[in-house]
Every structure is written in structure tokens, then in C-alpha cells.
A and B are shown apart, each in its own frame.
Chain A
Amino acid sequence: MGLLNWFAKSAPVARKLPAGSFTVDRHGNVMTATVGAEYPQWLLDDTGREVLSLFRGARAAGMPLTGLDLNFTGLHITAREMQGGAIIFFSPQNAFAASSSAERDRA
């Protein structure tokens, strides 16, 4: 029986969407974080790098931005530029969240 268990698919685990915030410096290093421990450091690192890259890309495109919001149906990622680094917020969305009717329709 133990052998059979090896081939059994692991049951999908429902992971909570991240909530909280973290800060990254201009090099993408995570400085402080209030995001739950179930989200590993590398995931925050990746997020920080993507966000910083978007701020830099916008600047290079002649449209420097001080704030960015990535809006998904289940999560809003909000970033504010801070002296080359950024503070990034995760706001999970649910059926009761105050998203606009247009966003709900589009989702």
C-alpha cells in the first residue's frame, strides 16, 4: 500500500492570497515585510524586482511613474516608488471587496 501512495497525486492545497506589505530597496532587497510566512522570501524578491523593473521601464519610456497598481480579479498589487526602491501592498479581493461594477463585469 505504501508503494501505491508514492504515485498518488497530492491533493491541491488552497493557498490564501497574500495580504500585507513589504518594502524593497533600489537593488530589490526586501527590507521589511508584513506578508504572511506562507509566502517565501523568493516570491517577495521576484515581486520587488518586477515592480522596480516596471518603474524603471516607465522612466526610460519617458513616462516616469510614482505609483503602479496591478489589478487582478483576486488580488490588487499596489506599489509606490520610494527613492529608487518601493513599498508594495497586497490587497486580496473577494466578493465583498469594493471593486467597481465594471471590473466585476469584465472578470
Chain B
Amino acid sequence: MKTREKILVLDDESDWLEVCREFLGRLPGQPDIRTVSSGMTALSLLDAEPFQLLLCDLKMPRMDGLQVLSIVRRRFPELRTVALTGFSDEDFRSRAYALGVDMFWLKSDMQQNPQRFVECLESLLGQEDDSGFRDVYSKNLLDVIQMELALRNSSVLHITSGRHVAQVWIKDGQLVDVRAEGADGDAAFWRLLKWKSGTFESLPAEPGHLQTITKSVDALVLESAQAVKKAESPTPAQEEEETAFVTRLTAVAYEGAEFVVTIPDKKGDTAKGWGIKDVDRLAAWARQAEKSAQRLGEKFNAGSLTHIAGHNLERHLLVMRQNDRTFVIGWPPGSDPHRLFEQSLNLVDTWAS
């Protein structure tokens, strides 16, 4: 029996989360739909539970959708992804596709044609079995080629993708030659597999065309997949760093923090931020705050500084030290101020470990 599919929707606007929930509720099989409003929560949830599909808004404060998708691409390569945006921006679209998203939808198109949106998602979820070749699997293109082969056709496929043009020669259901991006034969076929979108035209066969490809399409796809996997497989150090990164994000999400900035004591080392964009100015302020507090503490013989807390209507802020660095942690406005120090300490301990 097929298990219920799990879909995660990430959008900072609660109204849109509701809209998506309603649309996704129309999918057959009643998938389990989860919604989150921040990138960090989404990543920690993906790390904790298996999902089949992620719908990700691109324009969000703090960690934006492109950042989330880039982590998802490396961390969860099997996950299907759909980028959503309210802005018709070609740059956004191309950057999202470059990150390997399966679909790109404008929110206005979603609203105008919800049935089509749902059908596309249904189709996407149905493609789960081919995940092994996903790194090179240009679905439409390979589908077309394989269909031509299966039907034992003879034709020349003329393919256009942006400014690139390719030709695929097929004779009696056999792949004979490919020319793309200045290459021919196997190399051209591998380049073609990386094309994300394009248009196809089937032209009459050219029986006398010279055969340069002798392998089957499946063998070529497999070789290409292996080459890509080899090139992309992270080193042990990268894997360790990535694991530590997700562990930290999980700690942040578990405690409910909005952002974390770490400021090393060493002057040459730069401050790093998770969930916040303007790290340097906040780091400079935190350094100033620590120095000011220490000066005051000395003047009053007040003992050692445990932490500095700040707040406004939008958030709580906590500055504290652990080992050789200072942490600035942002908390949502509804947090219990009496528990923030302990929560920050838990978070910082996880970070340091």
C-alpha cells in the first residue's frame, strides 16, 4: 500500500500558506501537508522527517527561498521542489532553475489556474521512481528521445533551449548521433541532458547520417549520472560541515530562535549569521555592547557579565559569550523573557558541541 505523500510548504505569508494548503488538499491520496514560515524551520523539519515535495516561496525575509533551495539541493537531492513567487522576474526564474527546481510557478498563475497547478504537482509526485537519475534527468527531453526510440522511429529531433540548438539523429529506434554546444556523439548527449527546458521539433530522417553513438541511451544516461555524482559528491570535510550546519539549524528551530550571529574573538575572523542578512552591523554593535557593559561592571564592581538582553516590539535579543566567541541570538516577540537566557544557553551549547 502506498504511504501518504508528505508535502512541505514554505512561505512567510500565512495567507499563502492557507491558499497552498487548500490547493494541495485537492491532490488525490490526501497528502500530509505541513506549512512553515521560515527557511530554518523548513530545513530542520526536512532533516527530521522525509518529505516528497517542497513548495518554496522565493521572496522571504532573513533566509530567502533561493538560499533554502540551494541547501535543499545539496542536502536532500531526492526531494522534488517547486519555486513559488509573486514576482514575474526572469532572473528569479533562471536562478531557481539553476538550483535544480522541478517547477517554477507565479502565484498569480496558481490562482488563475489552480486545477493546472494541482495537475502539475500530481505529475511531479508521480515521478518519484526515477529519482536515481535525477541529477541529469531532463525529464521532457529524455521522455521525447526515449519515446522515439521505443516507437522505433527514424527522425531528426531539432531542439532549442534559449540560444542553444541541438540535433538528435535517430534511425530505426537507435540513437545515431547528437550535436550540441559544439560537441558531437556521447559528449553532446551528456551536455544535452543538462538542458532544463526547450522546444522540440521532429524533422524527417536523414538515412545517410554518420553514426557516432554506439551505446544505448540507458548506458549513456547511467554514465552521465555517475560522472555528475562523482563531480558533486562532497568531501568528508564538506559532509561534516554540512551535518554540523543542519544540527545547528535544528537547534535554532527547536528552541524557536529567529536568528543567530556568531562573532569570533579573533580580529581577522568574520562574524557569521544564520537567519539574518545584515550580520556585520549587528556584530559591531554586539562588540560595542560587550565593551560598554564590561566598563560599567568594573566601575561598580558588579561581578562578571553573564549576558546582555535587549528588546523592542518585534523581537528579543540576547548577547552572550561561550568559549572564544560572542553569540547574538534573536527571539520572537512572544518569547518568555525569563526563559530566554536558559534557551540561549541550550542553543549556544549545541552550537559549541
Contact = CB atoms under 8 A, between A and B. Distances in A.
Given A71-B308, A107-B303, A62 B278 contact: yes
A54 B296 CA distance: 12
B308 A68 contact: yes
A100 to B, nearest CB: 6
Nearest to A15: B301
A102 B312 contact: no
Contacts of A60: 281, 285
Contacts of A65: 310-312, 317
Given A69-B310, A102-B342, A74 B302 contact: yes
Contacts, number: 106
Contacts of A36: none
B282 to A, nearest CB: 5
Interface in B238-269: none
B303 A75 contact: yes
Given A15-B301, A70-B305, A100-B342, A50 B292 contact: yes
Nearest to B320: A106
Contact of B312 (A66, A101, A106): A66
Interface in A8-61: 15, 17-18, 43, 46-47, 50, 53-54, 57-58, 60-61
Contacts of B285: 54, 57-58, 60-61, 63
A107 B95 CA distance: 49
A50 B299 CA distance: 12
B292 A54 contact: yes
Given A64-B312, A68-B309, A73 B296 contact: no
A46 B297 CA distance: 12
A67 B337 CA distance: 12
A13 to B, nearest CB: 11
B304 interface: yes
Interface string B278-300: 10011011001100110111011
Q: Could you say which of A15, A71, A106 has the most chain B C-beta atoms within 10 Å of its C-beta? A: A71
A106 B308 CA distance: 14
A70 B303 contact: no
Interface string B301-343: 1111111111111000100000000000000000000100110
B323 to A, nearest CB: 13
B238 to A, nearest CB: 32
Contacts of B281: 60-62
B301 A106 contact: no
B277 to A, nearest CB: 9
B345 interface: yes
B304 A72 contact: yes
Contact of A71 (B278, B282, B295, B306): B306
B295 A50 contact: yes
B338 to A, nearest CB: 7
B79 to A, nearest CB: 34
B302 A17 contact: yes
A37 B136 CA distance: 77
B19 to A, nearest CB: 31
Nearest to A43: B299
Contacts of A101: 342
B310 A67 contact: yes
8 contacts: A18-B300, A50-B296, A61-B281, A62-B282, A68-B308, A70-B296, A75-B303, A107-B304
